[in-house]
Amino acid sequence: MVQGKAWINNYKDIDEEQVARLAADAGISRLLAKVFISRGIFDISFIREFMKPELSDMHDPFLMDGMDTAVDRILKALKDRESILIYGDYDVDGIVGTSILFDYLGSKGGRVEYFLPDRMEDGYGLTESTVEKVRLLDVSLMITVDCGITSVDEIEALKQGGLDVIVTDHHECKELLPDAYALLNPHKPGCGYPFKELCGAAVALKLIQGLRIRSLEGIESMELSEYGHHILDSRDEFIWDKETGIVSQGQTKLGQSTCPHVPYLDLVALATIADVVPLVGENRVIATHGLKAMESTRNEGLAALINAAGLGDKPISSYGAAFGLAPRVNAAGRLGDAQRGVRLFTTRDRVLAEALAKELDTENRNRQKTENQIIEESIAYVDEMLDLDSHKVLVIVGHGWHSGIIGIVASKLLEKYSRPCIVISVENGIGKGSGRSIKCFNLFKALSRCEDLLDRFGGHEMAAGLTIQEEKINGLCRRINEYADSILSDDDLLPKVRVDVLLEQGDITMDAVRELDQLAPFGEANPGPQFGYIALLVDDIRMMSGGKHLRLRLTDGDFKVDAVGFGMGERVAQLARGDSLDAVFVPEINAWNGRELLQLNLRDIRTCVYDQFDKNIVFNKTNDYNGYIDPQEVCRLLEYYQLSIGELIPERVELEAVYRYIRGCFRGQGGPGLHEPGGQLEFSNLFILSALISNRYQVRLNFLKLRVALEIFRELGLLVVEATDRKAARISVVNGNGKVDLEASSYYMMLRDIKEKSV
C-alpha cells in the first residue's frame, strides 16, 4: 500500500453548470473556473482585476496613519540639510527597504547614511548595543526599516538623546508602542490603511510615494505618482483622473499621464516575495509589475544578481525570485556584513555590482554547507532529546550554531516534522532563536504567553525571533508545549498536501494548463494550484537520477500522461504496474526537442481510496465483486483516512436507489454505458453508474458505496455480480419482484452495527 499525506481539500461541491457559466462569463477555461470556484471567487470583475493587476490600483500612501507627520519631518530634514540615518534589518526585506530610502533621499540631495546591525554581534532590530552606536553618529533624524515597532525602550533612549525617530515596520504590534516621532505600520491599531499585509520594504516604498506626492514630483514630466482619487498639498489640491490621466489644479489642466510611475518596483517585488507576505491585493500589484520590471532593470546590482543566479536569459518568476535571488541577498547578512546588500543595490558601477553579486553567490554556497550541517545535528537532537508524541512544538538547541542560518533550518525542520519548530543557538549562556510555524498555530501569540521567560522577541504568526537566557530554555519548551496542547490536535500535525480541485478526464488540456499562468505570481495566499486525480492506473514505472526520482506513466481510459515525482524514488518498491493511485500534482508543459508534452509534477501519491471528496472514487481492494469487503477493513479505513461513516457505508435510501435503478434497467429504463448480452446487464463504467443513480434519485452515492450495495444484494440472492475489469461489472437480476428485506443480509447488519458504533 502506498501511504500518502493527508489531503487538505479546498475542493468543494462544484456545480458543473456554475463552472460553465463562470468560464463563459469571464472568458476563461473550465479548469481555471474550477480553481476560482474552489477558492470561493465568483465575481467576474474581481477575476478580471486579479488576472490583470494595475498600478493604478495601489492605495494612496496618505491613508496610512502617521504618513503626513513622517513626510513633513523628512522634507524639513532635506530642506534644512539635516543628517539622516536609515536604520534597517539584515534580511532581504530590510536590505531592500534601506536601499530604496537611501537611494531616494540621496537623489534629493539629502545628507543620508545607513546602518544595518550585525546579526551575530547586535541581533535583530534596535538593541542596547546598536543604540550606543547610533548615538555616536552625528544625525538628527533616524528612519527605521522593517524594525522598530517593538523597540519601546531603545527608541525612548534615542529620543532622550535628542534624536527624532520615524518607525517604518510591518511586524505585529505589542500592546505598548514606542513613542516615536511617527509610526508607519499598517498593523498599528487604528491605522486605516486598506491593505495590511505589506512587507517592510513596501512600507518604505509608500513613504517614498508620500514624499513624491507631497513634493509634487512628476507633474512637469507627467509621471505623477497618484494612487487615490486626489493628491492633497498644504497649499492647493491637485487631481489626477485615473480614467483620462489628466492632472489638474482647480480648473486648470496641467498635463496628462497615461500611467502612474512607481519607482523601485523591481527591488520591492523581490522583498515582497522573499518576506512571504500574502501575494494578494497591493502586494500582487507590486509583485506582478516588479517581476516584469526585473527583466529590464536599470539597477546595476539587481542585474548582476540576476546573472549570478543564472536567471538572466528567462522571465523571472516568483519562484526564481524566492529561491534564486533572495537566498543570495540574505547570505550578505547571514554570514557576514549585510551592508554589502545595500551597496549592491545602490551602486551605479557595473564592475562593483558584478563583484558584489559574485561575492554573495559564494557566500550563499557556504551558507548551504553550514545549513546542511546544522540540519543533521538538529535531527540528531530531536531523535535523542525529544518525544514527538509529547512535543507538538519542537524546541531544538545547539551550541555554536550560526545564528544567521537557524531560521532556514527551522523552516526545513518544520517541513520534515510537520509542526512548529524553534531552533536556538547558544553562545556564552545566551540563546538566539528563530521559529517557524504552521497555519493553525500563531507563533507570535504563543511566544507572548512566554514573554517573562524571554529577553526579547518579535515576529508574526508564521515566523519569529527571540533571545533567551540558556537556563530558561527548558521552561520555554515546557510552557510553549503546554500552550500548544490546548491549541493543536494530533490531526493538525499530520503531513499535509493541499488539493485545490479534483479533476476528471477532459479537464487537463495544453491550453488550460497554459492559462493557469495568469494566476501568477504565486506565493503566500495565492499558491500555485495543485490538483487531485482519483484512480489513475500505473502503466509504467521508472527511476531517474540513480533512484532519487520517480517517473510514472499514468492512464485513465483515453487519458495518458507522464508524471514525475522528485524525491519519490523510494516509492518504487511500493508500486507495480496495474496499481490504482490517487495523485496530487501540478500540471506542466515540458518542452523537449522542439515538442511540447503535458506532464504532471507529483506532490503526493497514495493507494486509491475515497477520501473526503464527494466524487466517484474507487477503493479497489480486490478486483473481484464475489468477495466481501471486510467490515474490519472498513473500520480501519475510517480511522486511517479520517473518513465519515457516510462516505463508506450507504444509507438505506441509497441502497433502495441502487436496486430500483438496476431493476429499471431490466425494464428498459436504463441509461448510457450498458448493454444487455443474453439477459445480463454489462455496466462499462461503475463510476458513471454511481453518478447516474445519484442524479436520478438525489442521493450521494460513490463507487465504494455502490460496491457495498451490490455485495448486499448479491448476498440476498437478488443479483449476480461479476467484475469484468476494474471499472466494469456484469449484473443479472435473479429475482426482480418482491420486497427487499435488508435485515436478512448479515453483511448489511454488520455494516449497520459499525455505523451505530461510530456515531
pLDDT digits (tens, 9 = 90+) for 550-576: 999 999 877 899 999 999 999 998 898
| 295-318 burial code (b ≥16 CB/10 A, e <16) | eebebbbbbbbbbbbebeeeebbb
Query: In this predicted structure, what is the pLDDT of residue 286?
Result: 98
In sequence order, the β-bridge partners of residue 559 are: 556
We report the CATH number of the domain holding residue 25 as 2.40.50.460
Of 152, 167, 241, 154, the closest CA to residue 203 belongs to 167
CA count, 13 A, side-chain hemisphere, 455: 18
CB neighbours of 85 closer than 8 A, spacing ≥ 6? 112, 113, 114, 115, 134, 137, 139, 141, 142, 143
We report the CATH number of the domain holding residue 277 as 3.90.1640.30
Q: End of a domain among 591, 607, 623?
A: 607
Residues 317 and 331 in one domain: yes
What the block records as the C-alpha cell of 523 is: 506565493
- CA dist 104 and 211 (Å) reads 10
Residues 215 and 275 in one domain: no
- CA dist 259 and 547 (Å) reads 53
Residues 210 and 63 in one domain: yes
Residues 425 and 466 in one domain: yes
User: Is beta strand 496-499 parallel, antiparallel or unpaired with respect to 6-9?
Assistant: parallel
In three-state form (DSSP H/G/I as H, E/B as E, the rest C), the secondary structure along 198-238 is CCHHHHHHHHHHHHHHHCCCCCCCCCCCCCCCCEECCCCEE
What the block records as the C-alpha cell of 62 is: 496618505
Q: Is residue 61 part of a domain?
A: yes
- CA dist 581 and 623 (Å) reads 14
Q: Is residue 98 part of a domain?
A: yes
| CA angle (357, 360, 366) in 5-degree steps | 150
Q: Is residue 672 part of a domain?
A: yes
Neighbouring CB atoms inside 10 A of 98's CB total: 31
- CA dist 440 and 443 (Å) reads 9
User: Does residue 225 contact residue 213 with C-beta atoms inside 8 Å?
Assistant: yes
CB neighbours of 115 closer than 8 A, spacing ≥ 6? 85, 86, 87, 88, 130, 133, 134, 137
Q: Is residue 745 part of a domain?
A: yes
In three-state form (DSSP H/G/I as H, E/B as E, the rest C), the secondary structure along 611-637 is CCCCCCCCCCCCCCCCCCCCHHHHHHH
Q: Which domain holds residue 287?
A: 264-366
Residue type, 394: L
| CA angle (421, 424, 430) in 5-degree steps | 155
Q: Is residue 252 part of a domain?
A: no
Q: Is residue 1 part of a domain?
A: no
Residues 203 and 65 in one domain: yes
- CA dist 168 and 150 (Å) reads 12
- CA dist 236 and 713 (Å) reads 85
Residues 419 and 472 in one domain: yes
Q: Is residue 372 part of a domain?
A: no
Residues 736 and 681 in one domain: yes
We report the CATH number of the domain holding residue 444 as 3.10.310.30
User: Does residue 448 contact residue 466 with C-beta atoms inside 8 Å?
Assistant: no
Check whether the bond before 521 is cis (ω within 30° of 0): yes
- CA dist 154 and 125 (Å) reads 10
Q: End of a domain among 575, 607, 639?
A: 607
Residues 408 and 424 in one domain: yes
Helix, coil or strand: residue 277: coil
What the block records as the C-alpha cell of 709 is: 450495495
Of 120, 115, 121, the closest CA to residue 148 belongs to 115
pLDDT along the chain (759 residues), means of 10: 73 77 95 93 94 93 97 97 97 97 97 92 86 94 96 95 97 93 97 97 97 70 37 40 49 47 91 95 97 95 97 92 96 88 98 98 94 96 94 96 91 95 96 94 96 91 93 97 94 88 85 95 94 88 93 89 94 87 93 89 81 31 42 63 69 92 73 49 77 81 82 87 76 73 86 75
Q: End of a domain among 572, 592, 607?
A: 607
Give tens-digit pLDDT for 7-32: 777 666 677 788 999 999 999 999 99
Read off the pTM. 0.77
For the chain, the farthest-separated pair of C-alpha atoms sits apart, in whole angstroms, at: 101
Residues 303 and 341 in one domain: yes
In sequence order, the β-bridge partners of residue 537 are: 555, 580
What the block records as the C-alpha cell of 548 is: 532519487
Residues 82 and 205 in one domain: yes
User: Does residue 163 contact residue 142 with C-beta atoms inside 8 Å?
Assistant: yes
Residues 291 and 347 in one domain: yes
- CA dist 608 and 13 (Å) reads 20
Query: In this predicted structure, what is the pLDDT of residue 626?
Result: 40
DSSP annotation string for 8-46: EE------HHHHHHHHHHHT--HHHHHHHHHTT---HHH
- CA dist 321 and 304 (Å) reads 14
We report the CATH number of the domain holding residue 710 as 1.10.10
Of 500, 579, 530, the closest CA to residue 2 belongs to 579
Q: Is residue 149 part of a domain?
A: yes
Provide the domain count of the chain.
5
Q: For the packed helices 326-335 and 350-385, what is the interaxial angle rounded to 10 degrees? A: 80
User: Does residue 433 contact residue 423 with C-beta atoms inside 8 Å?
Assistant: yes
Residues 560 and 636 in one domain: no
